[in-house]
Amino acid sequence: MKIQTLSYLQTQADDVVKVESVSKNRLLKNSIHRQSVICESVVISPLDRALNYGDGCFTTMYANQTHISLFHRHLQRLQTDAQKLMIDIDINLIKQAVLLAAQELLNDDTTQCAIKIHVSRGVGGRGYQLPDKPTPQVLISFYQANPFVTKLCNEYQYRLQVAQLQLSTQPRLAGIKHLNRLEQILAKHELQSLDANDLLLCDQANNVIEATAANVFVYIENRWYTPDVRHCGVSGVFRQAVLDCLTSHKLPAIIKTLSIHDVQNAQSIFLCNALAHIVPVSHFEHNSTTQTYNMQHCMDLQDAMQDWLLPEHQVWHLHNNKDVL
């Protein structure tokens, strides 16, 4: 397995893209001597299966100067998705590479960022046929991140509509954050011409599945619900964290098939992912009607999530992690 680390983070000096190939020996050396794991060259073969076939998976997480949010959950999801795709990765080596780079990049100039771990099966194989002895390629990228919605002002609006595009059904790939994202790309293109912040994506039976890059929760009669993603859609890390948080508060959410009618009749609705966390929806527009929502239920849940997340953040404190020091 080969790991390369890349930074798109802008500093006061410049915004040069920096990358480095990382080996297990180099990680050990850098962890002792604190040498940089970031440099200025990257090599991706034009024969790489991720470029040619989307043969791989990824995860994206939020980090600040103290912690990587839900880090162990992201690593677990990445390993599970890779196993489902029959890609053999060393998750501990990936973890060390992420932590070393994050410690180096997050400083007084850069207080928060998004981290994306991209896994490819590598080069080889005839056409779609799998290579006999693939060498997986891992690219760890650091990007600028936006702050969360922490409070609602009077002017806050987040408007939702329904995409014309419908998601295809493939249970073997459902839930996996694989590299084939054409449906989401087409949905984002559709969104550009609409007066909305995001779109709900439905399957071919018109069941609500997700948004263009987020999972969905709706509040109906004092209970939170989220769509079933066993047949299509992504099982997001933050979605599972919300489910676990609600269960810990003895308010378990229900995973079920949801319709547009359910969304229209909900008291509250929010979108969520690992970078934005909870995004309350203020308006839902469909078939010339507009539904407005009570967003306080979402903010109450966000407050509960912040407290619930603290122990997980402490486990993965960037500057006191025994796996790296």
Residue 179 Ramachandran class (φ > 0 left, ψ -120 to 50 alpha, else beta):
alpha
Phi and psi of 236, rounded to 5°? -70, 150
- In whole angstroms, give the CA distance from residue 8 to residue 18: 7
The contacts found for 241-250 with CB under 8 angstroms, 24 or more apart, are: 241/70, 241/73, 241/305, 241/309, 242/217, 242/272, 242/278, 242/301, 242/305, 245/301, 245/304, 245/305, 245/308, 245/309, 246/301, 248/308, 249/304, 249/308
Catalytic residues: 60, 177, 210
The structure tokens 């239920």 sit at 297
